Chains A and B, each alone.
Chain A
Amino acid sequence: MSWLPEPVEKLLEVALVGELAVVGPNGRPIVHPLIPLYDGERIYMHSSTLFSKKLEHIKRHAQVSVSLSDPIAMKGNTDRATIQGSARVIEDDPHSQWESLILGLWRRKEPVIDSFLKQRVALPLFFERAVIEITPERCLFWPGGDTSVAPVISTSRSEAA
């Protein structure tokens, strides 16, 4: 059961790109534009082993954030949000585990992925993938996307209380 505000869930459901911020080995923030997937409770992002440095960073430092900021990537929705949380890398079988976990959610946002998957032979390493499972813990929300106004903050703990 999600505690995220409903407008933020709407953003997650339509967003084609969100900015995943992770912490690099020297404490530096590193940001990756990725497609965010949402199952109503957790946020899922995913990465090919080709671009897997982010996975190494997450395994070293699990705290991450996901920013939803670009109205073009969110079907014109101008709301903005940043969700902080803890991430877990799921990588037991990079060849096929991701398909059972997130392919359905991915397909809904990026239908063309099915035709790419049929051509797996052309770019086999792209489809060796790990899943980043993010449990939201704190949310900063800017209705209308205006960040000159302080964000509305909610947390999983406050909702639980």
Chain B
Amino acid sequence: MPRVEPSELSRLDRYPFVVVSWVDDDGYPVSVATTFQTDATRSEVILRAPAGDAVAIPTDREVNVMGSHIRPTPGQGYDERRYLQLWGRAAQPREGRTVFTATRAWGWDEAEMPFFEYSERSVPQSRRYLELLSAAAGRPIRPRLSLGWLVLRTTRLPFLSATLIPVLLGILIALRHGAFDIWLALLTVVGASLAHLAINVTNDIFDTLSGADEANVNPTQFSGGSRVLIYDLLTLRQLLTVALALFGGAAAIGLLLVWLTGSLTLLLIGIAGIAVGIAYTAPPLKLVYRGLGEIAVAIGFGPIMLLGAYVVQTGRLALEPFVVSITVGILVALILYVNEIPDRTGDAAAGKRTLPVRLRPDTIIGGYLLAALLAFVVIVVGVASGLLPWPTLLALAAVPLALRIHTGIRQHYESPYTLMAVMGTNVNLNLIVGGLLIGGYAATLIATALLR
């Protein structure tokens, strides 16, 4: 009979008492608390025998010995959950002591396996349970979310800021260059947003089908995909329908804009954008699986979005929006870059060879600093060369934030859940720099109008 390893058994010493349980002759479990000592080398627990025939620990059946702990948190509930249960056999008591020999152990300590990871690892059990329940009930019983939450989760709506910033910047730069049409601007915002959401949903489909999202047991609000398929909140068919509807809407608006502007350049930018978005996760290119995801995202959310919005208004390409798009592209790519850090184990298991999978932590951490600083250097060079208006230097106010994120990545690289706050700040960095650039351009436009 296998015995519990000494290292496992000695973990019971963390508990002040144990609860001993067995099944009585009537089929009811019986539980009684008692004190104990462990003899880890022999896989034995020496139990103080409880008094009374009703709770005499039996020797002819399997016995469970469990230590558990919580810490009450007044006004909230409790935390520090952990428990360890052992199964085995008890010997006849001698001198008030019963020797219990442990042959199997199972436990959970939320300090070692965070609750969110424990939950993710248990998703297959939930699916199995609901399938059995559906079969027993004769009707499908599936997890649900309200429509609003489901839309938010499925499309990963909050990431839309990554689209709004380059599009607004493209429109503002066009305005500075003397071209602005409100209806074209609104159509651009809606079309670009639909394209972004379509790509989010498509990526989810491919990441789920490839097993990358399922292999990731440390998803966060910023990484690990929407998981609507894994949680069975939507079927594959439903998600495909959503993706096609979003792509259809984006394509229709894109073609309408090409027709309204008569710009072949815009058509080419649109085609390139959709191609990069799909090739990001879809075979045969699967760019993100080859460590090229950041470049694809930088191109998609930098030049394509920003220049696209600019071309809609002006009908031509220009150097100034291209320079600004480099900064924006880098910062959006850095969102992906940092979000891939906690995903790296699951990604590696699914053959998704992202940069954090391929490179050492020090290289990744140093790479972040280099790329973030480059984003700011581009602005300085742009202003120094006279391409960008000097108020765009406002964006440099975010440099300390970038340095703080770099420190945070170094400190929390190994911990998906504490890294989550850093990931949030990194998303904010893109928003803040984007906002400051927009503010810089707005200030330039106002100043120009006032001086006229």
| Interfacial residues, chain A to chain B (CB-CB below 8 A) | 16-17, 19, 21-23, 27-31, 33, 48-53, 55-56, 61, 63-65, 67, 69-70, 72-73, 75, 80, 82, 84, 91-95, 109-113, 120-126, 128, 137-138, 140, 142, 145, 147-151, 153
Give the distance to chain A from B278, nearest Cβ to Cβ, in Å.
27
Interface of A is mostly: mixed
Kindly identify which residue among B64, B137, B144 contacts A31, using a CB–CB cutoff of 8 Å.
Answer: B64
Contact A69-B19, Cβ < 8 Å, known A110-B78, A150-B54: yes
Kindly identify which residue among B28, B116, B143 contacts A124, using a CB–CB cutoff of 8 Å.
Answer: B143
* Interface flag for B50 (CB, 8 Å): yes
Contact A65-B77, Cβ < 8 Å, known A72-B70, A124-B145: no
Kindly identify which residue among B33, B71, B141 contacts A94, using a CB–CB cutoff of 8 Å.
Answer: B141
Kindly identify which residue among B23, B53, B87 contacts A23, using a CB–CB cutoff of 8 Å.
Answer: B23
* Docked-complex contact B50 and A147, CB < 8 angstroms: yes
* Docked-complex contact B125 and A33, CB < 8 angstroms: no
- A-chain residues with CB within 8 Å of residue B33 when the two chains form the complex: 67, 69, 80, 142, 145, 147
* Docked-complex contact A33 and B83, CB < 8 angstroms: yes
**Cα distance A49–B130 in the bound complex, in angstroms:** 7
Give the distance to chain B from A88, nearest Cβ to Cβ, in Å.
14
- B-chain residues with CB within 8 Å of residue A19 when the two chains form the complex: 19, 21, 31, 66, 68
* Interface flag for B186 (CB, 8 Å): no
- Comparing B55-63, B310-318, B367-375, the segment that makes contact with chain A is B55-63
Residue of A nearest to B48 (CB): A148
| Interfacial residues, chain B to chain A (CB-CB below 8 A) | 17, 19, 21-23, 26-34, 48, 50-55, 61-64, 66, 68-73, 75-78, 81, 83, 85, 87, 116, 119, 122-123, 125-126, 129-130, 132-133, 137, 141, 143-145, 149, 152-153, 221, 231, 233
Give the distance to chain A from B384, nearest Cβ to Cβ, in Å.
45
**Cα distance A104–B76 in the bound complex, in angstroms:** 14
Residue of A nearest to B66 (CB): A31
Residue of A nearest to B15 (CB): A70
* Docked-complex contact A33 and B68, CB < 8 angstroms: yes
Give the distance to chain B from A21, nearest Cβ to Cβ, in Å.
3
